[in-house]
């Protein structure tokens, strides 16, 4: 039996891949985080839906596996790509305890890639993602990763830059980066990628520090070569003659 882990894209269903759409149209149970389920409920009327809230990830995945073992066709949905801060890893870890359940990961467009497309081409050279949420990762570890990424010269995509309980985390992260990066480093900030109210903005690292952000935002911090070209954020790849 196969249990699908499906990426909805950052728009939560507006930018589904053809494979993801076909899978969701074929199953009779779709399981996911409450917000993500609400975004696709109207598109797949043939399915029953089950959801849990924040921090219900393990219960959500266990329920999906139990239902798959019982013979139902099941998909677990994730925003963006299921392997980027999604449920693919947890499902694969839990699956061996449930017998002959095969997990098929159906990729989606990550928020990093969707946001980068809005901004221009900030991820043309080596880059990394760092989540600023400390629910599962201690702030000290996040700080160390920020330091290492800045010192290594990566373009950095910051997920979960702020929330109601972490209003100052983007500012704290920028303070770490400002120890190593020029305050005028080109940055970008996107919100609601692929959803209603989608916005993007190119700004400096100094400006990013005090910019409003929330869990629907992603911030991009350029490297020393990143520049603004006709209002777009561009990190040169280094092709011969590029920028000439």
Range of the domain at 166: 111-234
Q: How far apart are CA 23 and CA 73, in angstroms?
A: 10
**Domains identified in the chain, total number:** 2
Per-residue pLDDT tens digits for 34-69: 988 988 999 999 999 999 887 789 999 999 999 999
% of the chain beyond a pLDDT of 90: 83
CB-based burial, 161-186: b 16+ in 10 Å, e otherwise:
bbeeebeebbebbbebbbeebeeebb
Q: Judge contact between 132 and 162, C-beta under 8 A.
A: yes
Of 88, 106, 124, the position where a domain reaches its end is 106
Clarify whether residues 41 and 135 are in a common domain.
Answer: no
How many residues are there in the chain? 244
pTM over 0.85: yes
Clarify whether residues 169 and 97 are in a common domain.
Answer: no
Nearest to 5 by CA among 56, 71, 46, 57: 57
Clarify whether residues 87 and 115 are in a common domain.
Answer: no
Clarify whether residues 157 and 101 are in a common domain.
Answer: no
Clarify whether residues 91 and 175 are in a common domain.
Answer: no
Q: Look at residue 243 in the predicted model and tell me its pLDDT.
A: 61
Nearest to 93 by CA among 61, 71, 68: 61
Determine, yes or no, domain membership for 17.
yes
Q: Look at residue 78 in the predicted model and tell me its pLDDT.
A: 93
Of 63, 80, 106, the position where a domain reaches its end is 106
Determine, yes or no, domain membership for 241.
no
Q: Answer whether residue 217 shows pLDDT above 60.
A: yes
Of 76, 106, 136, the position where a domain reaches its end is 106
CATH of the domain at 209: 3.30.950.10
Q: How far apart are CA 158 and CA 38, in angstroms?
A: 25
How many CA atoms does the CB half-sphere of 103 hold within 13 Å? 26
Clarify whether residues 49 and 141 are in a common domain.
Answer: no
CATH of the domain at 48: 3.40.1010.10
Clarify whether residues 102 and 131 are in a common domain.
Answer: no
């Amino acid at each position: 039996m196969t249990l699908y882990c499906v990426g909805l894209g950052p728009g939560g269903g507006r930018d589904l891949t053809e494979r993801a759409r076909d899978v969701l149209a074929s199953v009779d149970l779709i399981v996911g985080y409450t917000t993500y389920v609400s975004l696709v409920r109207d598109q797949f009327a043939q399915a029953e839906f089950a959801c849990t809230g924040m921090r219900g990830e393990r219960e959500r995945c266990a329920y999906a596996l139990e239902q798959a073992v019982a013979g139902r066709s099941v998909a677990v949905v994730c925003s963006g790509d299921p392997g980027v801060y999604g449920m693919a890893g947890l499902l694969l870890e839990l699956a061996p305890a449930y017998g002959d359940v095969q997990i098929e990961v159906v990729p989606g467009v990550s928020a990093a890639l969707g946001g980068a497309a809005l901004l221009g081409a900030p991820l043309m050279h080596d880059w990394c993602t760092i989540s600023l949420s400390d629910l599962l990762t201690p702030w000290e570890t996040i700080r160390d990763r920020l330091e290492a990424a800045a010192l290594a010269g990566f373009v950095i995509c910051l997920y979960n830059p702020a929330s109601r309980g972490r209003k100052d985390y983007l500012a704290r992260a920028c303070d770490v980066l400002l120890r190593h990066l020029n305050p005028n480093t080109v940055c970008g900030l996107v919100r609601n990628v692929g959803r209603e109210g989608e916005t993007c903005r190119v700004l400096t690292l100094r400006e990013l520090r005090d910019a409003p952000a929330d869990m629907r935002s992603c911030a991009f911090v350029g490297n020393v070569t990143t520049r603004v070209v006709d209002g777009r954020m561009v990190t040169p790849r280094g092709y011969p003659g590029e920028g000439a």
